Structure 1
Amino acid sequence: MISRRDYLKLALAAGTTLALKPGLLWAEDKQLDLITRAIPSSGQRLPVVGLGSSATFASVSRSEDRDALRDVLKTLVEQGGKVFDTAPSYSASEAVAGQIARELNITDDLFWATKVNVAGWGDGKADPDTAREQIETSFKRIGKPVIDLIQVHNLGDVPTQLGILKEMREEQRVRYIGVTTTFPRQYDDLERIMAREPLDFIGIDYAIDNLTMEQRILPLAREKGMGVLVYAPFGRTRLWDKVKGKDVPTWAAEFDAYSWGQFFLKFVVAHPAVTAATPATSKPRHMADNMGAAMGVLPDEEMRQRMIHHIAGL
């Protein structure tokens, strides 16, 4: 449990520039619990906000970039976060994050979620030996004998690559397996795979202005007992463009949201099927602010509808 006062100290230490509105100040002594959600297939609990890396750890060309990423991972762990989502296809992400985690001695503190896909895009076929080689490279980069989660990236040749992951889960080299997609043209395929495969997780796109997953995919995940990682909870930059220059509504304080980032994240993780959201950032102050969405209370369904209508009306 953390108080709003302590959260503000942590956030300010990370350089977070929060708008100190009256609603935030009066709540500074309010006790805030870290919000966690259980992985359906095991019961293991994870904080509902983590860190993605597709757009931020993908290339590190300057030492100051690397220092910022180091501080982001450090902030994630210091504020109770665990889930770090990466992929071999995210350029230097996996290797750089693995090295930084070793330097910070936090490798075992993180829940590592990575991916496999050597099939390319579309209907390409995966060479099993090449797929295994890619996975072994991920083990070396991450530096753990057991990887927490590996998913087939963008449904690339699922029969071949998921088959390999099933074997590795059976061998206890991988704790959880799954599939991912953020492409609408693959949603029907995702639904069919979920219906027939024993997945621990899926990874999808979902945001307050992108509710397609609420129709069939999220209910099916609950029915099948699958965890859900949410990518692009800010609609990449779409939602930020929508709220630029606008204040967070004062009633958001009712569910402990004091910034737009917390507003958007709390909407996403309030859905009962969602295990965690993994927004990407390269700024420690944004990481600290995002972790604020994993504290306190979540909006109920009535409030979520109010949130949807508010954003739609901007």
Structure 2
Amino acid sequence: MTTERDGLTRQGFLGGALAAAAALGGSAAQAAEPHRRPIPSSGEPLPVIGLGTWRGFDVGPGAAERAPLREVVTTLLSGGGRVIDSSPMYGRAEGVTGDLVAEASPRPFLATKVWTSGREAGIAQMRRSLSLLRTERLDLMQIHNLLDWRTHLPTLRDWKAEGRIRYLGISHYTESAYDAVEAVLRAERLDFLQINYALDDRAAEDRLLPLAADRGVAVLVNRPFGGGGLLRRLAGKPLPDYAADLGCASWAEILLKFVVGHPAVTCAIPGTADPGHMATNLRAGTGPLPDEALRRRMAATLPA
């Protein structure tokens, strides 16, 4: 799941001055070179900021509904981003994404998930995802919430060998399942892990992020804004003194820089349906990133 609860977060607290700064930052994001991290299993570099499609892309076929989403995708790709993550459980998001990226350039890195039980049901769901996303070869397929993972993993390995997918992985967003996630990471060779991680949700720091680094597994981070609640909580609070050193004009940029500042994180995928927010997110993937000492300070001084 990837969302920032657009419209309830930033516009309410940036204020006129910060909104203007964010707008300027949007232009800078398109011009600045984004940070990239390699996928450990291949060395292929990915920009550290991508796009999630939960909720925001679950819309109908109307031009008015889709126009801002088309601009979001254009902003992502023209600003140097690549990763777009979706799922069959995101309603109409896969189909909308497929329509919007059908003629996009450059080609995005498309990721989705399998979330069902049984081998044949899994194959049918994955085939439908490829059809909706309008591609014969998917960049990343993830077994969501480890549902029937022992059944699906051999299928994903077969599909990877056949060239139907380029990478395979697992995803989860429930901390109570992290022991099970850790066990799978230790037992199986995977390309990707998608997991929650945010300045107010650092449970993955203890074992999962270090283990992913040790095992050579790329990490996609969903909910980098704490599911939206953290941004709402920070509404109206002044930016910390280190914001200028990081080149941040908003709390959203600070939260993203904290996440992608972790060396085990390959790419954060905040969801948005707002082109301006997409530009701001991209800006967080450029310029200075916090080192470990600053990241510890950021966590210790997060406003209550």
TM-score, normalised relative to structure 1: 0.86
Give the CA RMSD over aligned residues.
1.9
- Give the superposition deviation at 1:278: 0.2
Question: Which whole-Å CA distance do the structure 2 matches of 1:75 and 1:211 have between them?
Answer: 29
Alignment check: 8 A CA contact 2:57 2:97 kept: yes
- Give the superposition deviation at 1:142: 1.6
Question: Which whole-Å CA distance do the structure 1 matches of 2:146 and 2:161 have between them?
Answer: 21
Residue matched to 1:221: 212
Alignment check: 8 A CA contact 1:107 1:144 kept: no
2:54 alignment partner, SS class:
coil
Match of 1:210 among 166, 179, 201: 201
Alignment check: 8 A CA contact 2:52 2:272 kept: yes
Q: Do structure 1's residue 285 and structure 2's residue 276 form an aligned pair?
A: yes
Cα displacement string for residues 195-241 of structure 1 (whole angstroms, at most 9, x for unaligned residues): 01110000000000111100000010001000000000001121112
Residue matched to 2:115: 117
> Matched residues, percent identical?
40
Alignment check: 8 A CA contact 2:77 2:106 kept: no
1:177 alignment partner, SS class:
strand
In the TM superposition, 1:1-314 aligns within 5 A as 18-20=18-20, 32-60=32-60, 62-102=62-102, 105-106=103-104, 109-118=107-116, 126-311=117-302, 313-314=303-304
Q: Which amino acid aligns with 2:280?
A: D
Question: Which whole-Å CA distance do the structure 2 matches of 1:19 and 1:251 have between them?
Answer: 19
Q: Which amino acid aligns with 1:98?
A: G
Cα displacement string for residues 15-74 of structure 1 (whole angstroms, at most 9, x for unaligned residues): x984456xx89xx8xx94310000000000000000001121123375322111111111
1:230 alignment partner, SS class:
strand
Alignment check: 8 A CA contact 1:148 1:176 kept: yes
2:227 alignment partner, SS class:
coil
Q: Which amino acid aligns with 2:163?
A: Q
Greater displacement, 279-288 / 236-245: 236-245
TM-score, normalised relative to structure 2: 0.88
- Give the superposition deviation at 1:107: 6.5
Q: Which amino acid aligns with 1:109?
A: R
Q: Which amino acid aligns with 1:60?
A: G
Higher relative contact order (CA 8 A, sep 6+): 2
- Give the superposition deviation at 1:308: 1.0
Alignment check: 8 A CA contact 2:59 2:66 kept: no
Alignment check: 8 A CA contact 1:117 1:161 kept: no
Alignment check: 8 A CA contact 1:257 1:293 kept: yes
Cα displacement string for residues 283-308 of structure 1 (whole angstroms, at most 9, x for unaligned residues): 00000000001111211011111211
Distance 1:279 1:179, change over 3 A: same
2:225 alignment partner, SS class:
coil
Cα displacement string for residues 157-210 of structure 1 (whole angstroms, at most 9, x for unaligned residues): 000111211111111211100000001121111000000111000000000011
Distance 1:173 1:61, change over 3 A: closer
